[in-house]
A = this chain, B = another copy of it.
Amino acid sequence: MLKVYKFGGTSVGTVEKIQAIADRILSEPSHQHVVVVSAMGHTTDQLVELSGSISASPDPREYDALISTGENVSAALLSMSIIAKGKSAISLNGSQAGIYTSNGHKRAKIMHVNPSRIQDELNQNKVVVVTGFQGISETNDVTTIGRGGSDTSAVVLAAALGIKECDIYTDVDGVYTTDPRAVSSAKKLTEVSYDEMLELASMGAQVLHPRAVECAKENGIILHVRSSFLPDEGTRIKESSTMELNRSVTGIALKKDESKISLVGIPNSPGIAGQLFSTLGEQGVNIDMIIQSNEQINETNTITFTVSEDDFSSAKTITESVASQFPGATVVGDTDIAKISVVGVGMISKPGVAAKMFQTLGNSNVNIQLITTSEIKISCAIASSDAQHALQALHQAFDLHLA
C-alpha cells in the first residue's frame, strides 16, 4: 500500500528524531512511502532572522531561495538515515518532486503536480522523501507556498498519487474539543469535518494549516492528524458524517490577541462604513467582527470592529483619520479583547445553540460585547480577563468533556 504523510518541524527537530522516523518506516517494509518533511525545529525561523538582518523587506525570490534550504537539509538527512539503516530512499526537492507553482514568491500557489519521478523512484522500491513548503515556478525559480505549507504539500502529493488518506504527524496527538492546556477535561475528537476544522484552525487551534484543510476538502482527501511520538490514532478530518451530526457543538476555539475599535458619533448616512473598511483593507488590516449600531437619542451611528492586536495601532490611526471628517465623532479602542467561538456542523440542524451559549456566558457573569455567526460557528467578543472562565463554562455546558 502507498502511504503519503508529513512530519512537521518538531518531529524532525534532531538527528535522533529523524532516525526514529527512519526506524518507523523500516518497520513497515510492505508499504510504499512518500514522506513530506518540514525544516528541522526552528531552522526556518533562523533563516528568516538572517534575511531580516539584511532587509526588513527582503527580495521575495531570494527569500524563497534562502528559506527553502531548511527543507532540503531535513529531507536529505531523513533519506540518508533510511539508507544507512539498509533501505533504499531518495530525497526530492520541490522541482524534482514535480510540484509546480505560480511565479509568485513567499505565497506561491500550487498549479499542478507531476508525480512521474516520484512514481519512478517508488517503482524502484525507494522510500521517497519530499521537501515540504517548496515548489518550482514556470521560470525554474524556487518558490515557497507560505508558512505551514508542508501540510499542503502532503495533500497535493496524496491527490496526485491517488491516495485517499494523508497522515499529518505532529507534536499533538489530534484535534481536541478545545485547547487541552486551557481546559483539562478537553477530549480528543475522532472525527472533525473539513468546515469545522477550518473554523477551528483559523481561530487559533493551529494544528493544521487552513489551506491544507481546504485543499484536502477540494480533493476529498482524509487528513489524519496524529502524534509523531505515540502509536495511537489521532483525529480524522473528512466530509461530515452522520455521527458528527449527533453532536451540536464539536469544539470551542479561543483567540486571545484580539482588540476592538469603535468609531462613535458618526452621522447616520450611507458610505461611511464603506470608506472606513476599504481604507483599512488597502492598508492590509484584516478585520474580523463588525457591527454597526444606531443611537436612538441623537441619531448618530457607532461602528465597532475587531482586529488582531498586531494591527491595532495602524487600524486605530486609520479610523481616527476617518473620524476627523465628522465633527463630534470619536474613536475608542480596547486591546483587552478575546474571541470565543463554538463550532459544529451539527448546529445547522439543532436550534438553540446560540441561546445556550449566551445563557451560559450570562450565568457566568461574562459580558458579551459583539456577536457574529456563521452556519457552523457562533463567536462572541468578550473581555480577555473573562476568557478562561468562559471557555471552561462553555466546554461544560455543551458536554464536550463527555465527547
Contact = CB atoms under 8 A, between A and B. Distances in A.
Contact of A96 (B77, B93, B140): B140
A325 interface: no
- Interface of A (DSSP majority class): helix
Given A55-B80, A81-B54, A66 B72 contact: yes
A65 B95 CA distance: 13
Contacts of A83: 55, 58-59, 62
A389 interface: no
Contacts of A141: 96
Given A62-B83, A63-B80, A65-B91, A19 B54 contact: yes
Interface in A33-49: 47
Interface string A13-47: 00100110000000000000000000000000001
B59 A80 contact: yes
A51 interface: yes
A80 to B, nearest CB: 4
Contact of A58 (B19, B75, B84): B84
A137 to B, nearest CB: 11
Contact of A65 (B62, B66, B75): B75
Interface string A162-186: 0000000000000000000000000
Nearest to A72: B69
Contacts of A237: none
B84 A54 contact: yes
A69 B62 contact: no
Nearest to A129: B62
A370 B15 CA distance: 48
A96 B59 CA distance: 18
B69 A73 contact: yes
Interface in A230-279: none
A121 to B, nearest CB: 11
Contacts of A90: 61-62
Given A59-B84, A84-B59, A50 B77 contact: yes
Contacts of A53: 15
Nearest to A141: B96
Interface in A333-347: none
A12 to B, nearest CB: 12
Contacts of A75: 65
A140 B89 CA distance: 16
A38 to B, nearest CB: 15
Nearest to A59: B83
A79 B59 contact: yes
A89 B72 CA distance: 23
A119 to B, nearest CB: 15
A393 interface: no
B84 A50 contact: no
Given A54-B15, A54-B18, A73 B47 contact: yes
A69 B63 CA distance: 14
B73 A66 contact: yes
A72 B65 contact: yes
Contact of A66 (B55, B76, B140): B76
B51 A80 contact: yes
Contacts of A91: 62, 65
A19 B50 CA distance: 12
A66 B62 contact: no
A61 B92 CA distance: 11
7 contacts: A15-B54, A50-B77, A51-B80, A55-B80, A62-B89, A69-B72, A95-B140
Which 5 residue pairs of A and B lie closest in terms of their CB atoms, listed nearest first? Answer: A55-B84, A66-B76, A65-B76, A62-B80, A59-B83
